[in-house]
Every structure is written in C-alpha cells, then in structure tokens.
Amino acid sequence: MPQSDELLVKLPEAIIFDLDGTLVDSYEAITASVNHVRSAYGLPPLPESEVRRHVGRGPTYLLEKTVTGGDIVKDLAKYRAHHPSVLRSGTHLLAGVASTLKALKQGGFLLGICSNKPGPYTRELLDYLELSSLFAAVIGPEDAPRIKPAPDMLKAALARLRIAPANALYVGDMVVDVQTARAAGVTVWVIPTGSDDLATLLAAQPDRILKSFDELVPLLAKKKGSGPFSTVFHR
C-alpha cells in the first residue's frame, strides 16, 4: 500500500471526514439502542464488540445484522425513538480530534462530514461536542440518493463545498470509506479506530493509513511547507 507524501499531488482544499469511528466513539450509544430493539423480541443483549462490526453502513444494515428475523420498519422506528436518550451520554470524541480539527480550520482547509449516520444525530452531536462551527458541509443519508459505499454522499459534500474531487481528501475508518472515495475519485486516508481492523484496512489499499488522528496535521503541514498552516501547528 502506498504511503508516500507525494500521493497528494497538491495540498487539498477540503478535508471530508466520516463520523463514527473516525471522529467519535459512539459504539456505546449504538449498542444500547440495538439492545433496546433486541429486548422487544426477548433477545439477550449483544456486546459492544459484536455491534461494532456492523456499524458504518447505515441503520438498516445495522439492524438487519443485529436483530435477525425482525420487522425492519418497526425496528428502525424503535431504534430512532430510543437513540436520542443515549446519543450524548454514549458518545465521546476520539483522541486528538478536537485540536486537529481546529488546527485544520485555522490552516484554511474547508472541513466537511460525510456519514451514513442519520443527519439529525450527526448535527446534534456536533452541537453537543461544540464542533459545528468547524464544518462547512454535513452530509447524511437524507442528502443523497444512495448511502456509502456509493459515491453519491461524498459527491454531495463536494458540491456543497464547491470543491473538485482532485482537490479533496476523505478520511475514514472503514473499507466502505475507501470504496466510497475511490468511486468519487477522491484521495482517501483511513485510521484503524473504528469498525474495521488494521489488516482489513490494509487489504482495502487506501492511499494512507494514519497511525493516529493528530498525524493529519504534520503530514499536511509538511506538504504545505512554510506558511500560516505550519505556523498554526508548530507554534
């Protein structure tokens, strides 16, 4: 898998992020809502490690995999009714995220989010975590015809930001993010902090695998060289 700094032919104008597993750890909240639905069928609760494997491909996929044999329409309604009660308490920022996003914003990058998580949940979390002002575009499954790994949502984010695919970088934590970026013609970096492990991500051949989220800043600062962005990071 390539890891060269020259993979970015030029510095991106925009950086678009996945949410769950990339910026935030919300597996506790998601697991609680999945188990709420399971309890309606008398099913035992699943551990977070089992639910985690199915996160990132939208709520329909999640419930089809974790509540087999259920009524998907009713199950989605139960999940959505329950989730607001645990959304905030069961979600926290991953290490290095807040400082990195602020540095990127100060450095002049346009920031966006492209997530299969329902948009209202994403926006509530961004408000709660005091990050909303950093993002110029927040795209959820309601904003495009098809969810990831189809390129529609990422293309919608690019359109909202008025950025060409060649001028963007997408950062995620799953194979589905690699597939989405490839289909949209966008460079993709991933970090193994979410639903897919390192070996799985390696096999997907992203353009780079980050060791940590805050590695984003020095990598981009190095590419940019001297200037305001380097000053923001190195001061």
Among all residues, which ones are annotated catalytic?
18
**Are 135 and 129 within 8 A, CB to CB?**
no
Q: Is the alpha carbon torsion for 223, 109, 157, 83 positive or negative?
A: positive
E runs forming strands in 60-136:
92-93, 110-114
Residue 169 is encoded by which pair of tokens?
Answer: 């970088």
Three-state SS sequence of 191-204 = CCCCCCCHHHHHHH
Residue 47: asked if its preceding bond is cis (omega within 30°), the reply is no
Distances (CA, A) of 153 to 22, 67, 130, 222, 234: 17, 26, 24, 30, 34
Question: What is the token pair recorded at 68?
Answer: 């087999």
What token pair was written down for 96?
Answer: 């290095």
Contacts of residue 196, defined as CB under 8 A and 6 or more positions apart, other chains included, come to 173, 174, 175, 204
